[in-house]
Amino acid sequence: MSIFIDRSDRVLVQGITGNEGSFWTRHMMELGTAVTVGVTPGKEGQSVEGVPVYHTIRRAVAERPADAAMLFVPPRFTRDAVFEALDSGLKKIVTIADGIPLQDSVQIRKAALSCGARVVGGNTSGVISPGLAMMGMFPYWIERVYRPGRIGVMTRSGSLTNEVTAMVVRAGFGVSTLVGVGGDPVPGTRFAEMLPDFQDDPGTDAIVVIGELGGTMEEEVAEAMLSGAFTKPVVAFLGGRTAPAGRRMGHAGAIVTGGKGSVADKIAAFEKAGALVADRPRLVGELLVRALGPRS
C-alpha cells in the first residue's frame, strides 16, 4: 500500500502555468500521478500537458473533481492558496514553498487540523510512493534512489534525503512511501502524526527517520515507540551533530534553543526507545539489515 497518495488520487495543481508548476506537473504525470486539473488565476482556458487550467479551485473541482492539491505557489501566497484548497474540501495538500512566514505556517496548520485535513510542507520535496505516484519535486534520476519496497521514510531534510535513501536501496531494500515533512519551524504535519499510517500499512516493514537538530519531532517518535503506539523497527540518521547551540544550520527549523533540540538528546531518546541510530548516512542500510535481515 501507499501512504498519502497513490494512482487513484486525482491531483489538482495550483500554480500549474508557472515554470516550476509546468515542469514538475509533467514529471509527476510521468511517474503515474493522476494530475487532472490545474489552477492559476487569470489563466483559465489554457492547458498544461493536456491538463485544463481554471481561475479558481471552486470552478475547477465543479467540473473536474480532485482529491489532493499540489501547490507551486510563492511563500507569501501559500496561506491563501492552502485556505482555498481547504475551503473546497481538499484533504491532502502538499506545498513546496520555502520561507512561508511563521505566522502563516501556524495558521495553515491550525486550519488543516480543524478541517481534518493534512498539509505536508512547506520547505519540502514532497511525498512519493515509488512506482505509484508522486506529489512534489523529486529529481528525474529518482529511479536509482527511490525504488519500490517496504521501508517507509520520514524526513526533515532535503539535502540528506537522496543520500540516505540511496543507502536503503543499496542494502537491497526499497521505499513504500517517503514523506518530506519539511524543514520549517512549524510544519504542516509532524513525524508522529504520520506514524499511525506507517503502523497500519501492511506494505511497510520498518521506517527510516532522517532528522536533524532543532525542535522535538524526533523525540515524539521515540515517545510513540516507548508507549507501544508504534511497534515496527526504526532506523534513524540525524544531521547537525557538530552544530553549536543557538546556531541555525541550513534552514529555519534547524536550531537548538531553550536547552532542547540537540542531536545528542535526540540520539539518546531514540536509543532508549530501541531505535538503531546511524553515525553516517552510509550505515543506514546496514542497520536495516540488522533490524530486518538481509535481502535476497
Task: Cite the active site residues.
Answer: 251
User: In Å, what is the CA distance from 273 to each residue of 33, 42, 281?
Assistant: 36, 53, 20
Check: CB of residue 198 under 8 Å from CB of residue 204.
yes
The dihedral sign for the CA sequence 227, 229, 235, 237: negative
Of the candidates 174, 19, 197, 56, the residue with the CA atom closest to the CA atom of residue 120: 197
Check: CB of residue 39 under 8 Å from CB of residue 98.
no
Query: 101: which 3 cell numbers?
Result: 512566514
For residues 196 and 148, what is the distance between their CA atoms, to the nearest angstrom? Answer: 21
Cα 91 to chain centroid, rounded = 15
User: In Å, what is the CA distance from 10 to each residue of 7, 91, 117?
Assistant: 8, 12, 16
Of the candidates 119, 122, 128, 132, the residue with the CA atom closest to the CA atom of residue 85: 119
For residues 151 and 204, what is the distance between their CA atoms, to the nearest angstrom? Answer: 5
